[in-house]
Amino acid sequence: MSAAETTEEQLSEVAPEVPGAAEAAAAVERVWREDWGRLLALLVARFRDVDLAEDGLADAFEAATRTWPADGVPSNPAAWLLTSARRRVLDRLRSADVARRKMPLLVVDHLRHEQTVHTEELEEQVIGEEVGDDELRLLLLACHPALAPESQAALALRLVLGVPTAEIARLFLVPEPTMAARLTRAKKKIATAGLPFTLPDGDALAARVDVATQAIYLSFTAGYAPGFGDAVVRADLAGEAIRLARLLAGLLQRRGAAAPSVRALLALMLLQHSRRDARVDAAGDLVLLADQDRSRWRTDEIEEGVALLASLPSGLTGRAEELRLQAVIAARHATSPHPDATDWGAIAGDYARLERITGSPVVRLNRAVAVAEADGPHAGLALLEGLDELLPASHRLPAVRGELLARAGDVEAARAAFALAIERCRHEAELAHLRRRLASL
């Protein structure tokens, strides 16, 4: 297990009896979510080695969990971590004598290397400045075509957004050891092939955009559908995904490149993110869409998302059209003044088109919900046929089936479906909701 993976487990292990432990734990978690990618990008730019930079940064976070409860949270936590990580990387270079061995390093433009920060004082200043290009370099490096396709988006999630390996494995529907091995192979490939830590141009940039948007999309998904824990929404992770999409859109605009997939993704995320304040009640429980207080939805983000959607050209295909259709569905929800005013028939049609493009069983599941709202529970249940083999570990499939069976009047079958959903679910907030729903039957 790498130092980075070990540190994931240590972030929540600050002893509660230590004075200041709660504040320190919250600060470490916040910086991990908000600054991991920026810090790692700066370290990779400096030392030209992804593994070394990642382990050094993980060591710095581990040190923070030990020292901040006793010493207090520093005034600039990100700068503290960058300085600490830099020292640890230098210590590793000295102790292992790596500096005198010929080893494959990332190719970095000489001028950029000369401009790299060399003192702790300058590093503290750099943290307050825009380092978006470094993050984009890291994102697009992870999306390099020399890497295995199944590893690219996963590596971007790991490096740029610090998403835990277990969560990445869940998003890609593979066992955690399999995902860990993929990430290790990808990082070794970066080193041995000497892949450049640069912003690509022209066709090389365009070729990586789809993978980059997939990574950002999956990160946003992790923010709104956590696989474990008790948080209903991880708004910080979702917000980072939106910020990264804005950076990527800005880069493409500067390069004069068309970016319909990125704009569609940004529209989708803004429309979904606009409802974050209404997704959780005062007790911290999950609030379903139909029960949300729509006055708490953020109208400025809805308006921006709708405007982005309207700006997309017609005739999109592939990934751009998938994201556009998802944004259209999100816009139908976000602009509906009341649950009863939702055009479920149109949403069911959108999902049907999306299913034809993707063939995704998850899209079929969502389509079943929309069809049930438009045409009744039996119509929705019919669409669930055959999904059990395609989604054998999903808790949402039996949860939806249980809801539709309950509406259809088959209470016993609904209870069995909810019991299966509870057995499969690993997320505390969703578990609580499922248990309440079962009890209500």
- Other beta carbons within 10 angstroms of residue 155's beta carbon come to 28
Both tokens assigned to 235: 């708004």
Helix-, strand-, coil-residue percentages of the chain, each rounded to 5:
75, 0, 25
Mean pLDDT of the 2-29 span: 62
Both tokens assigned to 224: 């709104």
The Cα 362–Cα 374 span in angstroms is 19
Give the pLDDT of residue 378: 98
Task: Name the least confident of 77-91, 92-106, 352-366, 384-398.
Answer: 92-106
Contact yes or no for 163/198 (Cβ under 8 A): no
Contact yes or no for 163/222 (Cβ under 8 A): yes
Residue 316 dihedral angles phi and psi, to the nearest 5°: -70, 155
- Other beta carbons within 10 angstroms of residue 236's beta carbon come to 15
Give the pLDDT of residue 115: 41
Tell me which of 96 and 64 has the higher pLDDT: 64
- Please enumerate in sequence order all residues whose Cβ is within 8 A of that of 357, keeping only pairs 6 or more positions apart, or say none: 321, 322, 325
The Cα 100–Cα 102 span in angstroms is 7
- Please enumerate in sequence order all residues whose Cβ is within 8 A of that of 143, keeping only pairs 6 or more positions apart, or say none: 152, 153, 156, 208, 211, 212, 215
Q: Is the pLDDT of residue 53 over 50?
A: yes
Q: Is the pLDDT of residue 105 over 70?
A: no
Give the pLDDT of residue 130: 47
Both tokens assigned to 80: 């503290």
Residue type at 363?
V
Give the pLDDT of residue 385: 96
Q: Is the pLDDT of residue 171 over 90?
A: no
Residue 106 dihedral angles phi and psi, to the nearest 5°: -65, 140
Which of 103, 116, 91, 188 has its CA nearest to residue 146?
Answer: 188
Both tokens assigned to 214: 């997939």
Q: Is the pLDDT of residue 336 over 60?
A: yes
The Cα 8–Cα 32 span in angstroms is 9
C-alpha 99: how far from its chain's center? 35
Mean pLDDT of the 99-117 span: 44
Chain segment 343-374, per-residue pLDDT in tens: 999 999 999 999 999 999 999 999 999 999 99
Tokens 């979510």 map to which residue?
33
Give the pLDDT of residue 352: 98
Q: What confidence category does residue 341 fall into, taking pLDDT thresholds of 50, 70 and 90?
A: very high
Mean pLDDT of the 62-71 span: 88
- Other beta carbons within 10 angstroms of residue 130's beta carbon come to 10
Both tokens assigned to 93: 């270079």
Task: Name the least confident of 93-102, 120-129, 135-144, 242-251.
Answer: 120-129
Torsion angle, alpha carbons of 149, 151, 154, 158, to 10: -140
pTM value > 0.85: no
Task: Name the least confident of 196-205, 297-306, 405-414, 421-430.
Answer: 196-205
Mean pLDDT of the 313-338 span: 94
Tokens 């978006």 map to which residue?
132
Length of the chain: 441
Chain segment 255-309, per-residue pLDDT in tens: 887 789 999 999 999 999 999 999 888 887 888 899 999 999 999 999 999 999 9
Which of 58, 50, 39, 40 has its CA nearest to residue 1?
Answer: 58
Give the pLDDT of residue 200: 84
E-only strand ranges, 278-414: none
User: With pLDDT > 90 as the criterion, what percentage of the chain qualifies?
Assistant: 39
Mean pLDDT of the 79-103 span: 73
- Other beta carbons within 10 angstroms of residue 352's beta carbon come to 16
Q: Is the pLDDT of residue 417 over 90?
A: yes
Tell me which of 43 and 417 has the higher pLDDT: 417
Mean pLDDT of the 109-116 span: 40
Mean pLDDT of the 205-226 span: 83
